[in-house]
Amino acid sequence: MSALEVEAVADRLATHRSAGPRHRFGFGEILAALFLLFVLVAAIAPALLSPTDPLAIDPGDAFSPPSLAQIFGTDESGRNIYSRVVHGAASSLVIGVSATVIGLGLGVLLGVVAGLGGRVVDFGVNRLLEVLFALPGLLLALFLIVVIGPGVVTTTLAVGISTAPGYARIIRAQLIAVRSSAYVEAATVQGRGRWWILRRHLLPNTLAPLLALGTLGVGQAIVWASALSFLGLGAVPPSPEWGAMLAAGRTYLSSAWWMSVFPGLFIVLTAVCATVLGRGVQRRTRQR
């Protein structure tokens, strides 16, 4: 599923709001929060949801289809796919959150420097961002992995750096809009210093959308990290990581579809639910 399709599904889910005041959460947002709560519990305490060892093999039970005993079936080595999906949530979520934090941190740094550094600095940062934007984000991540080398840490860094230009553009635009606002001009007329205005007005109002941006970015980062693992550049089998599981199951799609469908479904649902909550936070931030 492409990023545009994920955004479209998120929009449809977010529009199913319950009747009542505008500040209440919609039905789609409640479902998204419940699913993400399940993923969070799976990441923090997977044994609560599946005590089975995700790496335990049982060749005699290989390729078992979904059933009451094995709700997600087993893989080619007889490993429990439900247990692997649950235990894989930690790896996928840590990569997604860490990459988002890296991307936001770099984005804020570049955006603030561009917005406050004067025309020359703004021009230089904008040219750098344009160069980075010339490459699609996933292609930029692939380039960084080729330069640095494959691995989970490298994948996290690559995804984080690849998402930074988008965040930087948003932060820069927000900072420029706040800087030209009436209350900043009033503070300047009153003789307030630059650092006081920066601390009191510019940064708080510029960084306010970060929660929404971060929530939206986690889903995108998980999809990108899973795509890189699918290509063999991130976590590798038998690691219970969703992208790696998806890659391992592609050979058996015709005979054991469940090996790829369930980890793929969790990747898509996590991205969609994170986007739904991010859109909800974004709307409520604008309403204030």
**Measured CA distances, 44 to 47, 48, 72, 108, 274 (Å):** 9, 9, 21, 28, 18
Amino acid letter for position 92:
S
pTM above 0.85, yes or no: no
Q: To which residue do tokens 């009033």 refer?
A: 186
The helix-helix angle for 3-14 and 258-287 (nearest 10°) equals 60
Query: Could you tell me the domains of the chain?
Result: 29-41+69-287 (1.10.3720.10)
Q: pLDDT for 102-126, tens place per residue? A: 999 998 888 888 877 778 888 888 8
Tell me the three state secondary structure of residue 166.
Answer: helix
**Measured CA distances, 2 to 150, 203, 212, 242, 265 (Å):** 24, 34, 21, 17, 13
106 backbone dihedrals φ, ψ, rounded to 5°: -65, -40
Q: pLDDT for 37-56, tens place per residue? A: 999 999 999 999 998 899 99
Q: pLDDT for 51-93, tens place per residue? A: 889 999 998 899 999 999 889 999 999 999 999 999 999 988 8
Give the CA count within 13 Å in the CB-facing half-sphere of 118.
Answer: 2
